[in-house]
């Protein structure tokens, strides 16, 4: 039985098709049950369907998920892979729904695009194409080409986040193929309702030098530079194991490593410290992978050290701790890796009725469970780079005007006392109450926009300029009439622009007060949201004030904040 938010997503997808959208992207966080929704949609439409994955482990995961939901399916993959998947279905579920006559087929994208669609009537008959991890699909790449092989099919592109590392637009008319975006619940709302487990971040100090990394066309860091930075660290392997033993001893964990060499060192260090660990990579054969996952579920292995797997599209229940040893510039990958640990850890007899409980009952069960909070140990500052994973995202299907780089200032800082990250606009750590210590006070940038902390001389100069903006225009005594007119007109335009801007800034301030922020915290948050402190904003010229007003307006509208 679908949960309420899953039912809404299913209905929204079907309604979008009914409205004429051909390809629909459905977003819902990692662990929210997208595969269950897909199974229901397949049964509801009851048309020839193909589900496409881009790697063999994800292909196996999709087949196993359909098998778990009792959906008959046929696997399009090399014969050895098909045999391994069927064996895994029998082992895990006691039966297989693999059937060559099934309406639903599961296909690897590389196998599929090598076929001649004009020579097989099946391609014409397929009525539904589902591409797992739908954010991969662009019109011109192999996933887009695979989708185009089915001219009479609707498309469903499920993903946790409708964003790519290279920031290219996913919509038709941009770089992608999506006609309608259906946005499901955000991660925080599912945590607050007890459908996902809350988390705790730990950010130990690191000697890994992350400065100067280049970003490739895909939006990810240059792999060679990342590996070099990790291997140059004399501490990180020991830090990973020591932090696990300090903050999460006896917890079932996944460590994300940068390459096989690093993973081997980490696994050996775990084992030497008495923590049973094994490596799992993209090259690990499916039958070995299945054996490792079986031992992992039974807690015979306490740490899986992963290289390029277990990050996306994989159901790994029971994970209690994630250790990050691989820097990534991809928010999508960052959030998905964390998502491995956010599934609730509840006894099966209770979990089978999970959707029928109240939010309060679910939260109480989670609090009393073996995993009241997932533990995320970030050794490479990923959270400082991307922010907390449950912050609501604002998506667009359009191609952006500019690509996101890696120079964006972090919106988080790490508490020096308890090692937990928190938002920079707060004036004290929300976990241990340690105050934020400001080093320099000479510029608004040094105080993060907290004008109370700004050097008095600098603050006085800003206030003098503010008084000048609000006062009468200053016209030099010898100025000719024409020049005087220009000065008066420009000053008036500036004041009019500032009047409109300040009204919107006041609305922003009211919204921050509604969220419970102190005045100083609201000032700092304004600085991080818009890149300018509150006094400098009020001395902008007319053109710049208008531009800032537009950005504030967009920010507030995206959060349904409007002037009463």
Q: What is the pLDDT of residues 439-497, one digit of tens each?
A: 665 666 666 666 666 667 877 887 888 888 888 888 877 778 877 888 888 888 989 98
Q: What is the pLDDT of residues 104-118, one digit of tens each?
A: 999 989 889 999 988
Tokens of 310: 């277990």
pLDDT of res. 279: 95
Contacts 24+ apart (CB under 8 A), 491-494: 493/542, 494/469, 494/541, 494/542, 494/545
Q: What is the pLDDT of residues 139-187, one digit of tens each?
A: 999 999 999 999 999 999 999 889 887 888 999 989 999 999 999 998 9
In this prediction the pTM is: 0.77
Q: What is the residue whose two structure tokens read 């300018």?
A: 532
Q: Whole-angstrom Cα distance, residue 525 to residue 32?
A: 30
Residues 6+ apart with CB under 8 A from 301: 276, 277, 278, 292, 295
Beta-strand pair 128-131/154-159: parallel
Q: Is the pLDDT of residue 213 over 90?
A: no
Q: Whole-angstrom Cα distance, residue 279 to residue 307?
A: 8
Lowest mean pLDDT among 14-23, 75-84, 405-414, 479-488: 405-414
Q: What is the residue whose two structure tokens read 């359909």?
A: 66
Q: Identify the sign of the CA torsion 279, 285, 288, 290.
A: positive
Query: Matching CATH topology for 4-186 and 201-385?
Result: yes
Q: Domain 4-186: give its CATH architecture.
A: 3-Layer(aba) Sandwich (3.40)
Fold for 201-385, please state it: Rossmann fold (3.40.50)
Q: Which carries the bigger pLDDT value, residue 225 or residue 400?
A: 225
pLDDT of res. 432: 87
Given strand 373-378, what is the order of strands in its sheet? 198-202, 373-378, 321-324, 253-256, 303-307, 277-281
Average model confidence (pLDDT) for the chain?
87
| Cα angle value 275/416/339 (rounded, 5°) | 50
pLDDT of res. 445: 65
Q: What is the pLDDT of residues 283-337, one digit of tens each?
A: 887 778 878 888 998 999 999 999 987 644 455 668 999 999 999 988 888 988 9
CB distance 81 to 88 below 8 Å: no
pLDDT of res. 479: 73
| Cα angle value 436/437/439 (rounded, 5°) | 140
Lowest mean pLDDT among 318-322, 342-346, 414-418: 414-418
Beta-strand pair 128-131/49-53: parallel
Tokens of 313: 């599209």
pLDDT of res. 315: 54
Q: Whole-angstrom Cα distance, residue 499 to residue 493?
A: 10
Q: What is the pLDDT of residues 422-448, one digit of tens each?
A: 887 787 888 888 887 766 656 666 666
- Tell which residue, 38, 45, 79, has the closest CA to residue 313: 38
- Give me the residues paired with residue 52 across strands: 107, 131
Domain limits of the chain? 4-186, 201-385, 451-558
SS (H, E, C) 294-329: HHHHCCCCCEEEEECCCCCCCCCCCCCEEEECCCCC
SS (H, E, C) 386-414: HCCCCCCCCCCCCCCCCCCCCCCCCCEEE
- Tell which residue, 1, 10, 30, has the closest CA to residue 341: 30
DSSP letter (8 states) at residue 129: E
């Amino acid at each position: 039985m679908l949960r309420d938010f899953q039912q809404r997503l299913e209905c929204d997808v079907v309604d979008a098709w009914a409205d004429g959208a051909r390809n629909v992207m459905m977003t819902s966080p990692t662990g929210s049950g997208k595969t269950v929704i897909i199974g229901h949609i397949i049964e509801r439409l009851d048309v020839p369907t193909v589900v496409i994955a881009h790697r063999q482990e994800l292909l196996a995961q999709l087949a196993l998920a359909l098998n778990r939901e009792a959906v008959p399916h046929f696997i399009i993959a090399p014969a050895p892979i098909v045999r391994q998947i069927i064996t895994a279905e029998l082992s895990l579920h006691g039966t297989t729904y693999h059937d060559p006559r099934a309406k639903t087929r599961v296909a690897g994208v590389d196998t599929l695009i090598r076929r001649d669609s004009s020579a097989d009537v099946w391609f014409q008959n397929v009525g539904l194409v589902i591409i797992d991890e739908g954010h991969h699909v662009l019109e011109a790449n192999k996933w887009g080409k695979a989708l185009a092989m089915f001219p009479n099919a609707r498309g469903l592109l499920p993903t946790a986040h409708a964003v790519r590392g290279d920031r290219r637009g996913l919509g038709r008319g941009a770089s992608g193929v999506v006609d309608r975006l259906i946005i499901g619940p955000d991660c925080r709302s599912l945590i607050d309702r007890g459908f996902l487990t809350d988390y705790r971040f730990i950010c130990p100090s690191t000697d890994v030098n992350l400065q100067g990394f280049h970003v490739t066309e895909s939006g990810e860091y240059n792999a060679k530079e990342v590996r070099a930075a990790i291997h140059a660290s004399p501490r990180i392997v020991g830090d990973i194991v020591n932090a696990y033993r300090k903050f999460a001893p006896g917890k079932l964990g996944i460590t994300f490593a940068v390459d096989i060499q690093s993973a081997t060192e980490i696994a050996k260090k775990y084992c030497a410290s008495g923590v049973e660990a094994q490596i799992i990579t993209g090259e690990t054969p499916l039958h070995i992978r299945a054996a490792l996952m079986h031992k992992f579920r039974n807690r015979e292995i306490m740490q899986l050290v992963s290289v390029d797997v277990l990050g996306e599209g994989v159901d790994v229940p029971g994970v209690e701790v994630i250790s990050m040893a691989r820097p990534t510039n991809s928010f999508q990958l960052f959030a998905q890796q964390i998502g491995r640990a956010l599934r609730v850890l509840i006894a099966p007899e209770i979990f089978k009725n999970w959707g029928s409980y109240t939010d309060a009952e679910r939260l109480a069960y989670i609090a009393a469970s073996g995993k009241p909070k997932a533990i995320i140990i970030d050794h490479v500052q990923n959270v400082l780079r991307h922010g907390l994973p449950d912050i609501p995202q604002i998506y667009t299907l359009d191609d952006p005007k500019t690509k996101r780089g890696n120079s964006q200032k972090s919106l988080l800082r790490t508490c020096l006392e308890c090692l937990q990250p928190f938002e920079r606009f707060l004036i004290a750590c929300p976990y241990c109450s340690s105050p934020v210590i400001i080093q320099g006070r000479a510029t608004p940038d040094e105080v993060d926009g907290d004008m109370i902390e700004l050097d008095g001389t600098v603050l006085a100069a800003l206030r003098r300029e503010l008084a000048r903006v609000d006062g009468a225009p200053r016209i030099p005594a010898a100025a000719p009439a024409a020049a005087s007119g220009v000065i008066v007109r420009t000053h008036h335009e500036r004041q009019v622009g500032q009047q409109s801007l300040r009204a919107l800034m006041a609305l922003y301030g009211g919204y921050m007060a509604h969220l419970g922020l102190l005045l100083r915290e609201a000032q700092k948050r304004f600085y991080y949201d818009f890149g300018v402190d509150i006094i400098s904003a009020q001395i902008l010229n007319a053109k710049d004030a208008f531009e800032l007003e537009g950005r504030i307006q967009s920010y507030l509208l995206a959060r349904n904040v409007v002037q009463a």
